[in-house]
Amino acid sequence: MRRLASSAILAVVVAGALVVVPWAAQADPLTTWTAGPDASGDNTYDGFIDAPANGATIPTGSFTVSGWFVDNTADGWAGADDVQVWLGTMDGGGRLLGKLDFAQNRPDVAAATGNAYQAASGFGGVIPPNSMAIGPQTLSVYVHTPSKGWWFKQVNVTASTGAVVGPVATPSGAALPTIDIEKPKNSETVLTRSNYDVTGYALDKNATVNQGIAGSGVDRVQVYLDGERDTPGSLFLGNAELGFNDSVAQGLYGPQFASAGWRLTFTPTNYKVNTHLLYAYARSAVSGKEDLVIRYFAIRDQ
């Protein structure tokens, strides 16, 4: 049995089965980060591939790869500047499947390690459909550090056309994800005196614990101002950080969604002192579908 958790967050591997109550930082008891191309120096790393699990059966359609990584010698950050997923290995005839978003928020890691900078240690993304042939495969997650080159971990999986991630559904018939904006409230006034955090939660109720960021079933939240995406006058505020603790989501939908919170910081002084509409889109890692929530608020001088 191996543990890496805060007193409030526990992850335990017992007899090969992972029990998470709720989602928490997990340490891999069996493998370590292995030197890859241009690797140098000592192995000073920790981290875990949350999804897919070793030995999992995954669909030949899209699937999520996510986890966390820290260089324990990094000063003021988690240490990674690139994360990639390969079928096989970089220097052994493998094939690049995709690049992952990194520096995603993982407050559970910071709590478990006692290092606040390691909160920005998460990585995750969706591998496109038809990236893998049917049968046993080895996935390699490569993490690059500026001074020590590429290091990787691997999971063995089986790709199958019959694999189901969540309930059986096609995108045309699948349920939409759930998204809410918790801040600002409707009609709230946001002052220009400081940066402002837009917060909320996003999840797919049909997700398994291995889907989406921190098991939320969602892999992206995008926020726009004053118009729907791709419409004239719409202003893109950015991609929100995912994986924040959210007691509202946990209370409404259960412990799997305890880390379904999202956050985006913007600078009100960059926008007109006026009333505005905020548009937030959540994308499901289960179905690829998106849903939208809209919030009315005002920006005022302090």
Please write the tens of the pLDDT for every residue from 62-114. Answer: 788 888 999 999 988 899 999 999 999 998 888 999 888 888 878 888 888 88
Q: How far apart are CA 206 and CA 211, in angstroms?
A: 9
Q: How many CB atoms lie within 10 A of CB 145?
A: 23
CA distances from 153 to 23, 160, 168, 201, 219 (A): 21, 22, 30, 30, 21
- Conformation bin of residue 135: beta by default, left when phi > 0, alpha when psi is -120 to 50: left
Q: At 82, is the secondary structure helix, strand, or coil?
A: strand
CATH match for 178-300 among 3.20.20.210, 2.40.50.220, 3.40.50.300, 2.60.40.10: 2.60.40.10
Q: Provide, rounded to the nearest whole percent, the portion of the chain with pLDDT above 70.
A: 85
pLDDT value of position 199: 97
Looking at domain 24-160, its CATH class is mainly beta
Domain spans of the chain?
24-160, 178-300
pLDDT score recorded for residue 224: 94
Rg (CA), the chain: 20
On the question of a common fold for 24-160 and 178-300, the answer reads yes
pLDDT in tens, 159-189: 887 554 443 333 444 578 999 999 999 889 9
Per the model's pLDDT, the better-predicted residue between 189 and 51 turns out to be 189
Q: What is the mean pLDDT of residues 2-12?
A: 33
